[in-house]
């Protein structure tokens, strides 16, 4: 049992209000008090103001982001407006929704020591801290590697560790579970529990809650820029907000009705025959068919995205054969790599020329009011919905999604699920995902990739859901350092 910590106020807001330049979006009259050692869950639908509030807390508003700021924000009894950025950084560590945007180097070890070098720490002190971070985060196999060849989940773990190098007492996480497999998400929960036990204050903005079960002190819900506070996890669970994500394996989701097999469903639209790539994939055999949604699961860094890139001919196999009936349409995990249009509507016109279909698609996905905005002005969740629109409008035999629900709230996830289910009527759909709830909504078939090989391949229904649960629990057990982090402080 974690020992009770002296609860002094570390963060306080009084009528905090911010609106972006030339926009009504932002936050309005936000009031809260956060005490030392508390874990705060910050949640709400995509675009509700969570990231805006985090930017106020880490000082990016108003230092970097322009707009109109009013009200009062205090840290340890001092007003933000009277602190310099380096003073704020010594108290607060941040992990952004997109880890790539916060890296300063391309080497994992260099990135971990960069903040310490910047503040003039001695070499011996840096080495000691690096060893501590390596052990606590299970980073032994990630040291001294190019950051940009790591999987998104592995980059996320480097970002998490980097945020704690300076012994900050407050840590802000923006969608930290978005790119993590189940095991690493549970490891993150253990890390947060340890931080709490050490008296650190943690604020987590996320749509997924399962890894925070029983460690939350307060829940902040944002809606249209306004804040509602639940003063305990128990009160939040008793409220009207959808909290089913706390207990993943108790979800009661109907299994998909299988589409009738027609002649076009019998011939595969894509096939891997004994395909291998470097030491990542070994002798992989896989056939994909129209009329089914195949979900590819496995730990971070196990080769799921590499398999997708073989199908897209981005990578050429070292041996074996890859055949496709046409070039697949690949929806990437990071939307910023794939957005080229001058406006949201223009983005969709790159895959479909019919204006009426584009407008209908935008309205369905809740993006109609943003049709004239630049794609990079959208929130992370809104960008992902825009990518879903691209898939809805394209005409390909195979559509591949890499983590399409990372950063999406429950309502948006269900909309995305419905659209992906519709896509199987015209195409084969391959989905890479760690999102158990989403998988239960969309999967016809599960492929489990481990140690470079397909270990399991089965149709998902009531008789096999236990196998899916076992896979997720195995990912938790395989998460390096998990048992270490579970130890009481």
Q: What pLDDT, in 10s, does the model give residues 128-183?
A: 999 998 988 889 989 999 998 887 778 878 988 888 888 889 999 988 887 788 88
pLDDT of residue 480: 45
Tokens of 106: 């391309």
Tokens of 97: 């929704």
pLDDT of residue 359: 92
- How far apart (Å, rounded) are the C-alpha atoms in residues 10 and 168? 12
Is 27 inside a domain boundary?
A: yes
- What is the total count of domains within the chain? 2
Q: Tell me how long the chain is.
A: 489
Q: In this structure, are 243 and 123 located in the same domain?
A: yes
Q: In this structure, are 273 and 231 located in the same domain?
A: no
pLDDT of residue 102: 80
In this prediction, residues 247-260 reach a mean pLDDT of 85
Is 210 inside a domain boundary?
A: yes
Classify 209 as helix, strand or coil: coil
Is 388 inside a domain boundary?
A: no
Classify 9 as helix, strand or coil: strand
Of 214, 248, 282, the last residue of a domain is 248
Is 419 inside a domain boundary?
A: yes
Q: In this structure, are 180 and 211 located in the same domain?
A: yes
Q: In this structure, are 17 and 126 located in the same domain?
A: yes
pLDDT of residue 464: 96
282 pLDDT tier (thresholds 50, 70, 90): very high
List Cα–Cα distances, 160 to 92, 109, 134, 165, 171, in angstroms.
13, 13, 12, 9, 9
Partners of 271 in the β-ladder: 287, 323
The packing angle between helices 123-137 and 108-118, to 10°, is: 130
pLDDT of residue 487: 36
- How far apart (Å, rounded) are the C-alpha atoms in residues 327 and 340? 20
CA-nearest of 177, 7, 213 to 95 is 177
Evaluate whether 482 touches 473 at the Cβ level (below 8 Å). no
- Looking at residue 446, which CATH number applies to its domain? 3.40.50.300
Q: In this structure, are 139 and 284 located in the same domain?
A: no
Give the burial string for 34-71 (b: 16+ CB within 10 Å, else e): bbbbbbbbbbbbbbbbbbbbbbbbbbbbeeeeebebeb
Q: In this structure, are 194 and 233 located in the same domain?
A: yes
Is 351 inside a domain boundary?
A: no
CA atoms within 13 A on the CB side of 179: 25
Evaluate whether 189 touches 211 at the Cβ level (below 8 Å). yes
pLDDT in tens, 347-388: 999 887 788 999 998 998 889 999 999 998 887 668 878 888
Q: In this structure, are 160 and 305 located in the same domain?
A: no
Is 192 inside a domain boundary?
A: yes
pLDDT of residue 365: 82
Is 200 inside a domain boundary?
A: yes
Q: In this structure, are 289 and 194 located in the same domain?
A: no
Residue 331: cis peptide before it, omega within 30 degrees of 0: no
Classify 174 as helix, strand or coil: strand
pLDDT of residue 1: 35
With a cut of 90, say whether residue 280 has pLDDT above it.
Answer: yes
Of 248, 274, 308, the last residue of a domain is 248
CA-nearest of 421, 441, 464, 403 to 98 is 403
Q: In this structure, are 129 and 206 located in the same domain?
A: yes
Domain of residue 438, residue span = 263-328+396-477
Confirm whether pTM is higher than 0.85: no
pLDDT in tens, 180-203: 888 888 888 988 998 899 899 999
Q: In this structure, are 320 and 197 located in the same domain?
A: no
- How far apart (Å, rounded) are the C-alpha atoms in residues 172 and 40? 10
pLDDT in tens, 53-76: 999 999 999 988 889 999 999 999
Evaluate whether 2 touches 488 at the Cβ level (below 8 Å). yes
Q: In this structure, are 188 and 284 located in the same domain?
A: no
Tokens of 469: 């649960």
pLDDT of residue 486: 37
DSSP assignment of 250-272, as one string? G---PPPPPPPP-HHHHS-SEEE
Of 248, 275, 300, the last residue of a domain is 248
Q: In this structure, are 220 and 155 located in the same domain?
A: yes
Partners of 220 in the β-ladder: 42, 229
pLDDT of residue 351: 85
Is 258 inside a domain boundary?
A: no
* Averaged pLDDT of the chain: 88
pLDDT of residue 479: 55
pLDDT in tens, 98-126: 777 788 899 999 999 998 998 889 999 99
């Amino acid at each position: 049992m974690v020992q009770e910590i002296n609860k002094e106020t570390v963060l306080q807001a009084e009528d905090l209000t911010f609106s972006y330049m030339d926009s009504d979006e932002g936050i309005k009259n936000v009031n809260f008090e956060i005490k030392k050692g508390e874990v705060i869950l910050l949640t709400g639908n995509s675009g509700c103001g969570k990231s805006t509030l985090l930017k106020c807390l880490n000082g990016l508003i108003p230092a970097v982001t322009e707009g109109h700021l009013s009200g009062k924000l205090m840290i340890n009894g001092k007003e933000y407006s009277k602190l310099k950025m380096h003073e704020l950084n010594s108290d607060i560590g941040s992990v952004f929704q997109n880890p790539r945007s916060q890296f300063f180097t391309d080497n994992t070890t260099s990135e971990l020591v960069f903040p310490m070098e910047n503040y003039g720490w001695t070499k011996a002190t840096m080495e000691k801290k690096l060893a501590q971070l390596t052990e606590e985060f299970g980073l032994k196999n990630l040291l001294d590697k190019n950051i940009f060849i790591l999987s998104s989940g592995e980059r996320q773990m480097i970002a998490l560790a980097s945020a704690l190098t300076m012994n900050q007492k407050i840590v802000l996480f923006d969608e930290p579970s978005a790119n993590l497999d189940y095991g690493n998400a549970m490891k993150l929960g253990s890390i947060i529990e340890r931080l709490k036990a050490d008296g650190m204050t943690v604020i987590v903005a996320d749509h997924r809650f399962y890894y925070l079960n029983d460690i939350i002190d307060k829940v902040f819900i944002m809606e249209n820029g306004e804040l509602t506070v639940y003063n305990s996890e128990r009160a939040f669970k008793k409220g009207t907000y959808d909290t089913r994500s706390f207990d993943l394996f108790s979800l009661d989701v109907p299994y998909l009705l299988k589409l009738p097999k027609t002649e076009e469903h019998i011939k595969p639209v894509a096939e891997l025959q004994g395909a291998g790539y470097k030491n990542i994939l070994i002798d992989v055999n896989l056939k994909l068919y129209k009329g089914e949604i195949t979900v590819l699961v496995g730990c971070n860094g196990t080769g799921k995205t590499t398999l997708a890139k073989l199908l897209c001919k981005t990578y050429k196999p070292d041996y074996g054969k890859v055949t496709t009936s046409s070039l697949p349409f690949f929806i990437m995990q990071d939307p910023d790599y794939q957005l080229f249009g001058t406006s949201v509507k223009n983005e969709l016109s790159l895959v479909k020329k019919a204006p009426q279909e584009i407008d209908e698609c935008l309205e369905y996905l809740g993006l109609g009011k943003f049709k004239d905005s630049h794609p990079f002005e959208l929130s992370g969740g809104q960008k992902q919905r825009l990518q879903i629109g691209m898939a809805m409008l394209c005409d390909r035999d195979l559509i591949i999604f890499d983590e399409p629900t990372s950063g999406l709230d429950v309502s948006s996830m269900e909309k995305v699920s419905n659209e992906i289910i519709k896509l199987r009527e015209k195409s084969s759909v391959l989905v890479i995902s760690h999102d158990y709830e989403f998988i239960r909504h969309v999967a016809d078939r599960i492929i489990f990739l481990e140690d470079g090989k397909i270990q399991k391949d089965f149709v998902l229904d009531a008789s096999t859901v236990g196998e899916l649960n076992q896979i997720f629990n195995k990912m938790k057990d395989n998460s390096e350092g998990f048992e270490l982090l579970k130890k009481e402080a």
